[in-house]
Amino acid sequence: MSELRDLFIGETIRRFEEEYLPRLEEAVATLPEGKVWWRPHESITSVGNLLVHLEGNTRQWFLGALGGGSMERARGAEFAAREGDDAKALCRALRTTVESAYPVLRSLDGAALAKTFTIQGFEVTGLAAVYHVLEHFGWHTGQIVWIAKATAGAGHGLAFYDDSALEGL
């Protein structure tokens, strides 16, 4: 069980460190000046909202529930904001929270992964909580990348795979 736990936690951290955070940061860096809080219309959130939301979700689920810290969070305010920190500060805050979660993740043993937690009114195991945050992070990273590509225009330069190397595989 320990080997499987180690593989699971290691892969979770690897995805944050080598995929989600770098891709997200690269995408945000391509946003045109002043576009981090831009919304195409009122019913869509901005990149700024998504960055604040990811930070709040990671903090609540990992540092709060799994790590025994504060569960307080103003989730509605994450989406309601129309302005706030600049892109660099938002990315820095998100990275700091995610990196602060690594020791929590590494401390989870089989019992903690099987334990039931109540988070946002949901009864989930520690394993389900880790899956939730990882999936949630991937979902919103994809949204941010799409927004960055769309707002930066055809010359955005965002590419995370060498498509020619993947042809024929």
Enclosing H/E stretch for 118: strand 116-119
Nearest-angstrom CA–CA distance, 8 and 41: 39
Residue 89 has pLDDT above 90, yes or no: yes
Over range 82-100, report the average pLDDT: 97
Give which of 26, 18, 20, 14 is closest to 142, Cα–Cα.
20
Distance of alpha carbon 23 from the chain centroid:
11
Over range 46-67, report the average pLDDT: 97
CA angle 164, 17, 127 (to 5 degrees): 110
* Two tokens, residue 111: 């019992």
Enclosing H/E stretch for 65: none
**Each residue's pLDDT tens digit, 128-166:** 999 999 999 999 999 999 999 998 888 888 888 777 777
Residue 41 has pLDDT above 70, yes or no: yes
Residues 6+ apart with CB under 8 A from 127: 8, 113, 114
> pTM (2 decimals)?
0.93
**Each residue's pLDDT tens digit, 108-134:** 999 999 999 999 999 999 999 999 999
Over range 29-43, report the average pLDDT: 91
> Could you tell me the pLDDT band of residue 1, with boundaries at 50, 70 and 90?
low
Q: Which domains occur in the chain, in start order?
A: 2-166 (1.20.120.450)
Residue 104 has pLDDT above 80, yes or no: yes
Helices (H) and strands (E) in the chain, counts: 8, 2
- Position 169 scores a pLDDT of 64
Over range 95-120, report the average pLDDT: 97
- Position 67 scores a pLDDT of 97
